[in-house]
Amino acid sequence: MHIIIKNQNTLLYDKFKFKCSVGKKGISSNKKEGDLKTPRGVFSLGALFYRRDKFTTVFTKLKKIPIKKNMGWCNDSKSKLYNKLINTNLKVSHEKMFREDSKYDLVVSINYNTRNIIQNKGSAIFIHLTKNYKKTQGCVALNKKDLLILLKLINKKTRIKIL
């Protein structure tokens, strides 16, 4: 079964329809690092990263990884660590996973440009939380209630299809 991003504000899964937001500059087949676009295509899902101090229990069949204060996701396209989970003590540009704004209290990694990584093609593409549905830097964002429902429904075989 696929999660489908039908347009720039609708996520469908089975009989569920959720409001969502995507990149500030829409959806693109030609994603580049920092272009504020969500990549078009069909992608598998990675792990669920979550803040243990905010969620003691999260029901999902995805692999669960607690977010630690020193976790980041490398967005330095010149680094051999590009588009990988890293320790923030490293001297490379990165997206912090442990954030104060709660967007990353629950984060599902989307496996975009994670195998045979192409430098500058885009990194840190996630499904994460939103409170106001503002456009993202390229991720897909849902409110907390909807993401918790989705997490109960999906598993490691689920794909996301961004149209």
pTM strictly above 0.75? yes
Report residue 109 CA to chain centroid gap: 4
pLDDT for 79 equals 96
CATH topology of domain 2-162: L,D-transpeptidase catalytic domain-like (2.40.440)
Residues 78-118 have pLDDT tens digits of 999 999 999 999 999 999 999 999 999 999 999 999 999 99
Residues 56-83 have pLDDT tens digits of 999 999 999 999 999 999 999 999 999 9
pLDDT-derived band at 1, boundaries 50, 70, 90: confident
Domain locations along the chain = 2-162
Q: How far apart are the first and last CA of the chain?
A: 15
